Structure 1
Amino acid sequence: MSARTFSDQAISVQDSSDDNQMVISFRLLLGLYAIIPLCLLLQLFDGWFWNGVLQQNLPSSPEQFLLFQVLFGTPHIVASSILLASNAEYLKVYKSKIMFMTAAIVMIFGVGSLFIPYKVLYLIAAAWTVYHVLKQQIGVGRGLYRLPDWAFYLLLWLSVTAGIFVYIGIFLKNSLDVQQLEWIKLVAGGLCVAMIGSALLCQRYATTAIGRWFLWSNVLLVLSSFYLFMQQYYFLAILVPRLVHDATAYVFYVVHDYNKHHRQPQNFIYRYAARCHLPIFIVLPIASFLLAFVLQSYGDSAVNSVTELFFGVEIRKAITVGLLGYLALMHYYTESFTWKHGSPYRRFIAFSK
């Protein structure tokens, strides 16, 4: 979801004649940031009492745990795709944009991979990932801290740039020499200091307590990730922003689907769920988690077996890199406009403090 999605104009609570309409509570969204002190306490306890056992046994990134990907990485991307693809009216509205972006992804990451260095493509994907994650979180709180444009974008770009350097330092650390890694740490640290300064400058625009809490929670999201990166707790450094981001997205998806389908199911998924007497709240999470598990666990081997049987060709990671990579990039793109004020999605979203 993009920052423009949650501008001052878009964040106002919508009136509804339906007394059963769900609303998104900003206090609930703020509560998701509790993962920050929890991860910091884990790191401190590991150093004080557990002799670094946690650090030694955690992988260098959450993506090395299939369970992590099934729980936090892939499902919300799959859920976003299901939400878009299962509603014909949404596909009709965004068809041309989807076709354009599909062609762009094929050209850049498909054809382009033949002559563009892998690290360049990786950096593009990494920068886009960090931008997507932080723009969503900073954008969600924009209507609460009501920053002017210059202040909002100052905070956003300092956060995103610092996050990109942390991301590079974690995922490319094995291909960097000592001096390069030190420079990355130095630049990321400087950007974090600048981010703190910009937050101190901007917080005067936040006239409510919850607005200030949201502002500093987003600052702490980046600062905690940088601190855990410096302490070499790479798993926790990535877990913090990923969990907050994914959980926030699911809140929006579930509220959207409840408000859209609870009176009369509008697509085949919810019509079938109604026949099975499944609560609307669990339909999209269950569908996306199950599909993510199947694709992550069995997708590559299934595709490889079929291509070997019929064509005598071995294709590795067609699902985990090809399909899921495409869905991830498409997710970053579509979420930048599907939740904007006036979009079909937004007719089913309302907010409360």
Structure 2
Amino acid sequence: MSAQAISAQEIPNDNRLTVSYRLLLGLYTIIPLCLSLQLFDGWFWHGFLQQNLPSSPKQFLLFQVIFGTPHIVASSILLASNTEYLKLYKLKIVLMTAAIIAVFGIGSLFIPYKVLYVTVAAWTVYHVLKQQLGVGRSLYRLPDWAFYLLLWLSVTAGLFVYIGIFLKNSLEPQQVEWIKLIAGSLCGGLVACALLCERYQTSTSGRYFLWANVLLVLSSFYLFVQQYYFFAILVPRLVHDATAYIFYVVHDYNKHRRQPRNFIYRSAALIHLPIFVVLPLASFALTFVLQSYGDEAVNALTRYLFDIEINKAVTLGVLGYLALMHYYTEAFTWKQGSPYRRFIGFSR
């Protein structure tokens, strides 16, 4: 979802669902929860969590099945299962697919790994924070220059935190210290920018959303410095993924509640499966299958047919492609005036 996509939109009161700003704001309670766990771990548990949690949530298969990948799969299902959406965006999808193959397929033969990694990291952080800042944009109503200053300070600080966590084993201690210093300075600039943006706030909800998004970055930086890497990634990941699912479920409920319009919801109607659980259930189930059995299934097939194995064909190839495509398509599919937005309304 892009920053330009989210603005309050009235929809008829005919039992349609709306996206509740209060519910979205409630997701940010993960911030004080993780900070409390970090403090209690230092005060009472002698660093047990710090020593035993993985350095990244991605090291937990269960985490990958719950966070990150499922909402990417859900986004792909939503786009691919509605033929009118697929036809409308077909050319963009084809061109982006060609670009991904060129850059990450052919380009990987001569582009250094770290360059590709930082590129994807920057795109990931930008996608996550642009969605969250965009959701609240209609509430804090900032001028364009202030909004984009807030956005880019957040993204740049978040990128340095991301690099500091995921590339820490390949960095020199001095490089890690420089990353902390740069990220900390950017966080200081972010706070100063937020204080400047206060002058434009006319509503309590706008002020809450503004500072919730600032704290999203600040808390991740603090947890990174304290070496609670799991929590540093969990905070933005949970808020982002849960926010996306709220939009997806509201969209699908409003679109399919009266008459199922694609094969997934027609099949669900036959077994009386509630609309609310169809997309989450399908995306979580497909994620589990792909993460747990996808690579081995492809290897079994390629061994049988060609006597070769393809390393991580599904977990890196297929899911990597879906992630990059997700970052790309979400930038325009939720914009004001898109067919997706016909089924989205907001309430405060």
User: TM-score per shorter chain, which class?
Assistant: over 0.9
Aligned partner of 2:336 among 326, 332, 341: 341
SS of the residue 1:122 aligns to: helix
Q: What is the deviation of 1:2?
A: 1.0
- After superposition, where does 1:165-184 map in structure 2 within 5 Å? 165-184=160-179
Structure 1, residues 149-171: CA drift from partner, whole Å, max 9, x if none?
00000000000000000000000
The residue that corresponds to 1:14 in the other structure is 10
- 1:340 is displaced (CA, Å) by 0.3
TM-score (norm: length of structure 2): 0.99
Structure 2 match to 1:278:
273
Map 1:206-285; keep pairs closer than 5 Å. Answer: 206-285=201-280
Superposition deviation, residue 4 in structure 1: 1.2
Counterpart of 1:114 in structure 2 is 109
Structure 1 distance, partners of 2:236, 2:183, is 16
Q: How much has 1:324 moved relative to structure 2? A: 0.1
Q: Deviations over 1:285-304 (max 9, x none)?
A: 00000000000000001001
Structure 2 spans left out of the alignment, 5+ residues: none
Q: Which residue number in structure 1 is paired with residue 318 of structure 2?
A: 323
Deviations 1:4-33 (A, max 9, x none): 112xxxx122232x5110000000000000
Q: How does 1:177-196 map to 2 (within 5 A)?
A: 177-196=172-191
Q: Which amino acid aligns with 2:148?
A: Y
Deviation at 1:60, TM superposition (A): 0.5
d(CA) in 2 for partners of 1:91, 1:19: 28
Structure 1 unaligned regions, length at least 5: none
Counterparts of 1:74-223 in structure 2, within 5 Å, are 74-223=69-218
* Counterpart residue type for residue 12 of structure 1: A
**Matched residue of 1:5: which SS?**
coil
> Aligned AA for 2:212?
S
Distance 2:321 2:5 in 1: 23
- Count matched residues: 348
Work out the CA distance in 1 between the residues paired with 2:344 and 2:327.
20
For residues 15 and 120 of structure 1, what CA distance do their matches in structure 2 show? 45
Distance 1:96 1:272 in 2: 29
Give the structure 2 partner of residue 2 of structure 1. Answer: 2
Letter in 1 for 2:232: A
Q: Deviations over 1:293-322 (max 9, x none)?
A: 000000001001110111011111000000
Q: Which amino acid aligns with 1:130?
A: V
Give 4+ residue runs of structure 1 displaced > 3 Å after superposition: none
Look up the match of 1:38.
33
- Give the partner amino acid of 2:123: W
> When the two structures are superposed, what TM-score results if normalisation uses the length of structure 1?
0.98
Paired residues for 1:37-56 under 5 Å: 37-56=32-51
1:284 deviation in Å?
A: 0.2
- How far apart are 1:143 and its partner, in Å? 0.2
Say which SS state the counterpart of residue 89 (structure 2) adopts.
Answer: helix
The CA deviation string for residues 173-210 of structure 1, in whole angstroms up to 9 with x for no partner, is 00000111110000000000000000000012111001
Alignment partners' CA distance in 1, 2:205 and 2:158: 24
SS at match of 1:335: helix
State the alpha-carbon separation in 1 of the partners of residues 201 and 246 from structure 2.
24
CA distance in 2, matches of 1:112, 1:81: 25
Which whole-Å CA distance do the structure 1 matches of 2:39 and 2:241 have between them?
A: 25
Q: Deviations over 1:41-95 (max 9, x none)?
A: 0000000000000100000100000000000011000000000000000001000
Distance (whole Å) between structure 2 residues aligned to residue 139 and residue 115 of structure 1? 36
